[in-house]
Every structure is written in structure tokens, then in C-alpha cells.
Amino acid sequence: MKIYCPKCNSTIENSNINVTEDICVCSKCNELFKLSEIFDQENISETEYLLKNPPKGIFIYKNNENTKINISTHSLRAIFLIFFTLGFSSISFLGFFQFLFAKSMIGLLFISVFVVISICLWIQVFFSLFGKIKIVININKSFKDYIFIGVGIIGKKYYINWKNIINIYEHSYTHSEGGTEKKIFISVKNRLIKIPTNYINDNKKRFLLMVLNYYRHKNKNYFASTNG
């Protein structure tokens, strides 16, 4: 996605874009502006094309009430995750029962940490096999738009007030255990919505970012016109 300076229309170099701070600087005219406020016609046209021709694994349903966008989280990484989780959880639960029969409270407390990690890993396995990221955009604005992340009907639902969104960006961070996780962050005035993206490919990830920014831009203009 190209970013253009709103003053001189020059392309902004990647080195001059700070996504986390939501700041861009144009090296041509030295204009400083917020990244979150820029969504030009090229991006709008590209996103509208993608909404009509979504990447593989993305399904869009439209009716007179709303638009539903389902992004499948099926991933080949799930194969490795299944075998790793099987081995890890087998050792964890075997150790748990051994300490249980030995009536060792210290051992049980120690191994319980590994059991909890095993449960978290199995949740990730199911999400990588059967999970989805669902965006619902309601035509009737009296109903709230929302993002659902989960498996089937089990998961988290985040209601979206588009006009309160400060920024939308992707960020990778490292866990204290050493693993790396990628998420798309939606920064709202009073909270931070985190969408896991480890199990979706680059095409789905790019589609998700563009669609979120597109509806943010579209709803921002809608509220501006109704309030104006």
C-alpha cells in the first residue's frame, strides 16, 4: 500500500513512516501528518476491488441488512503445531498424573504450569484448523458493527465504533518465553483490540488491514456528513 503526501502528492518513503506513533514525514516538502488520516482514492478503489474479488479463504456475504466478511484461519502451520502440541501435552499430562499418584504437592504445582500451557496450545491448534475472523458491517447504523474472533460460535466479539478508532496497524512482539506473535491492533479511545494474524497468510493479512481502514474511512465520512 503506497502512502502519498497530502500536500505535494509525493510518495512517502517507508523509512519516514512510523506506524506505531501514527506519524508520516514527507522528505520532499517536510509535511508532517497522521498516517491514520490518509486513505486515498487508489486505496479505496483497490479495497473495493478486493471486496468483489477476495483472496482464497475469504468469503463475503451481503444482504439488505449487513455485509459479513469471513476470513478463515486455516494454516499449514497447524500440522507442525499439532505434532508439537501432542508431544508437549503428553509429557505434561503424564507428569501431572505421576505427581498426583505420588501425592507431591510441589510437583503438582510445578507441572500444572505445563498443563496450562498445553491447554493454551490446543486452543491455538483448534483456531488454526477451524477458526475465523469475522467482520460484520450493518447497513442500519442503529446496530453496532463488530469483529468476531474464534471457532464456530465460541470466541470473542468486539463491537466497533469507527469514529473512536485512533489507529489500525500490524505489530510483531516477542513473548517472555521466546516465541514471536503477530497481531493487528485497533487502537480505540479507551481500549486496544488485538486480532491474531499468525495463522493467516500475507494476502489475507493485507486484505484485513485494507478492509478495516476502508470501513473506518467510510464510516468517518458518514458520521461527518450526518453531523455536518
pTM over 0.75: no
Domain extent listing, the chain: 1-38, 39-73+133-227, 77-128
| CA 3 – CA 14 distance, rounded (Å) | 9
CA distances from residue 102 to 91, 106, 107, 198 in whole angstroms, order as listed: 16, 11, 9, 40
Specify the pLDDT at position 136: 95
Per-residue pLDDT tens digits for 122-180: 877 888 888 899 999 998 877 899 999 998 888 999 999 888 887 788 877 666 555 66
Please tell me the predicted confidence (pLDDT) of residue 38: 64
Report how far residue 114's alpha carbon sits from residue 92's, in angstroms, rounded to the nearest whole number. Answer: 6
**Distance (Å, rounded) from C-alpha 130 to C-alpha 154?**
11
